Structure 1
Amino acid sequence: MDKKKVVAPLVCHGHSRPVVDLYYSPITPDGFFLVSASKDSTPMLRNGETGDWIGTFQGHKGAVWSCCLDKHALRAASASADFSAKLWDALTGDVLHSFEHKHIVRACAFSEDTHLLLTGGMEKVLRIFDLNRPDAPPREIEKSPGSVRTLAWLHSDQTILGSCTDMGGVRLWDVRTGTIVRTLETKSSVTSAEVSQDGRYITTADGSTVKFWDANHFGLVKSYDMPCIVESASLEPKFGNKFIAGGEDMWIHVFDFHTGAEIGCNKGHHGPVHCVRFSPGGESYASGSEDGTIRIWQTGPEQDGSASNGPSQNIKDVVNEVTNQMRNVLIAEEEKTGAE
């Protein structure tokens, strides 16, 4: 591997057990934030840029499988093996509400308008809680065919995207009718499903494959075989020209989105990588591992491709060429003056 691709990450300690989920907030007036879920039962909030610890959410009595922030980064949510999902004040760390379930909760997601919280897990039931009326019974959506692994909102909260732990495919529910309207077929169970920041793509990881789907027409756009079984993948949000994937081999691999060619990889974790996510501006990406650490890697210039490096290098070449031409003219004039 090319030495220039070795990047020293910011290492974030604090969790005592494996880190299984990461979630970046959008960019807010106060910056952007990173929340992490761990089997140690305590989600943590960090500065998304520096990785500095801000606070720990204390209250769960079992492993936390999923975590998220609303778009303003004012509230957090978590899904746990203690049969509950919790809503937190991200500024104080206080529990705002605890939503009780009858089995392990594996996934949670805030709606785009921040008024709803979606949960799912071993009960195979999707629930939508109204955060303006947290004590009210949730709306229950048609049963999932298997235990819910991942959940996400699509199309301005009109569609729900979900995958299962025990079967392949990604299912799409129409929120209005509460029914499954389409299934995106995969051979293995989908362990990671991410909607791109611009809403164009759905990025999935299943087995040793990363796939990109059209988020509006649901056709398969690209499918790439990975060097190992991967658990998570994330598309760069600004240019959309590369993606990252992490899994069993403990490396975070960087690939060209258009060709699937590997353009970088980073090693530092001492256990399988469970989750990878790009920051909202694409300048860095985070990885969470079985080793209990979070690592934040800067997007190196060698990985930015022509989108960011090409123009600046071209300008440098032009400047150098003009400088050389001016130097040659001056030399020629000096020689002419000397001859006279």
Structure 2
Amino acid sequence: MKPIMLHGHERSITQIRYNREGDLLFSCAKDNQPNVWYAVNGERLGSFKGHTGAVWCMDVSWDTSKVLTGASDNSSRLWDCETGVSLAELTTKSAVRTCGFSYSANMIMFSTDRTMGQECTVAIYDIRDDSQMRNNEPMQVIAMPKEKVTAAIWSPLDEGVITGHENGDLCQWEFKTGDLLNRVLDHSKQINDIQASNDLTMIITASKDTTAKLFDVYTLEHKKTYKTDRPVNSAAISPLKPHVVLGGGQEAMDVTTTSTRIGKFDARFYHLIFEDEFGRVKGHFGPINSVAFQPDGKGYSSGGEDGYVRLHNFDMQYFDFEFEY
């Protein structure tokens, strides 16, 4: 499995995303320029220019017409995907850490950091309402508990928002009222990433406590745990097979102090049901910050601290491989 190396960022990758068809791959990094690539050959299609700080998060609408980004320049921007033109700039009082389109792509949400005396909040906008976007007046602002939001995703069918927090809390919010519906504490450290399964029935969380966990999306009931020996920064569920992929590694600042773990920057594959690890893919020169399966399940991509996005297409052996049980 020979990867295609995408090098269009000067600094570490923060998030990668496929569009629904899987023909485009979007990437953002600690530089100020998110990129979009052709997933088939790794050719760069274009960039979204406008941010002046590290871009922490991005998402793409289901019809690939709009792109949403959030950055440390205290703003979230909505872009036209085809032209790269900024449609709206929503300014905040602190850095935007997570963002996402709802299932219908009629609404967007983003969370802000608890810094400079500002509270951590989740803001929700209806992008069909020009006055909300033009005047920067969200339809709902949900005040978060004292632990800041480090990962967030919409619930299925525009029902609410699921947030992961610094202390390992996983919370479910009703977006119309701002009420807390559910709260579970299954992780002991910060949740770095939340991704949903293709049919929106499950979510997988990646945490600094060296595990990734599978939850029911409606009840937040804990189903499975995938254990590693290093912090997990990102995890994704395959749409084709009962597999999950985990990406992580020792934090960059700790690498020199933990000599036994140097070089452990592999993407690790686990069986969804049995929780057994069955494969690793080497390649990155630093921790993996984001992983994503292709929407058809025939490959995956990873973005690392080294600034590279690696685009992998699975060999036939992967599709022939079956667990014996």
Q: Which runs of 5+ in 1 are unaligned?
A: 1-6, 311-340
1:264–1:303 contact (8 Å) kept in structure 2:
no
Determine the C-alpha separation between the residues in 2 that align with 1:141 and 1:202.
24
- For residues 1-12 of structure 1, what are the structure 2 equivalents within 5 Å? 7-12=1-6
> How much has 1:237 moved relative to structure 2?
1.1
1:231–1:275 contact (8 Å) kept in structure 2:
yes
Determine the C-alpha separation between the residues in 2 that align with 1:270 and 1:216.
38
> How much has 1:305 moved relative to structure 2?
5.3
2:29–2:55 contact (8 Å) kept in structure 1:
yes
Partner of 2:85: 94
Partner of 1:232: 234
Q: Report the structure number with the largest CA radius of gyration.
A: 1
Determine the C-alpha separation between the residues in 2 that align with 1:108 and 1:48.
22
1:142–1:180 contact (8 Å) kept in structure 2:
no
Runs of 4+ in 1 over 2 A off after TM superposition: 48-51, 139-142, 299-307
- Identity between Structure 1 and Structure 2 (%): 27
Q: Read off the aligned partner of 1:193 and give its amino acid letter.
A: I
Q: Read off the aligned partner of 2:229 and give its amino acid letter.
A: P
Partner of 1:304: 319
Q: Read off the aligned partner of 1:34 and give its amino acid letter.
A: L
1:214–1:220 contact (8 Å) kept in structure 2:
yes
Superposed CA deviations along residues 162-221 of structure 1, whole A, max 9, x for unmatched, are: 112x31111100123211111131211110101111011110011211100111232111
Partner of 1:16: 10
Alignment pair present for 1:114 and 2:116? no
Determine the C-alpha separation between the residues in 2 that align with 1:306 and 1:288.
26
Partner of 1:327: none
SS of residue paired to 1:119: strand
Q: Which runs of 5+ in 2 are unaligned?
A: 114-118, 250-263
- For residues 83-162 of structure 1, what are the structure 2 equivalents within 5 Å? 83-122=74-113, 123-132=119-128, 133=130, 134-136=133-135, 137-145=137-145, 146-162=147-163
> How much has 1:151 moved relative to structure 2?
1.5
SS of residue paired to 2:143: coil
Q: Read off the aligned partner of 2:225 and give its amino acid letter.
A: S
SS of residue paired to 1:302: helix
> How much has 1:228 moved relative to structure 2?
2.0
Which of 248, 259, 266 pairs up with 2:281?
266
Which of 286, 297, 310 pairs up with 1:282?
297
Partner of 2:179: 179
Larger helix percent: 1
Q: What TM-score comes out, normalization by structure 2 length?
A: 0.88
Q: Read off the aligned partner of 1:285 and give its amino acid letter.
A: Y
Matched length: 298
> How much has 1:227 moved relative to structure 2?
3.2
2:213–2:222 contact (8 Å) kept in structure 1:
yes
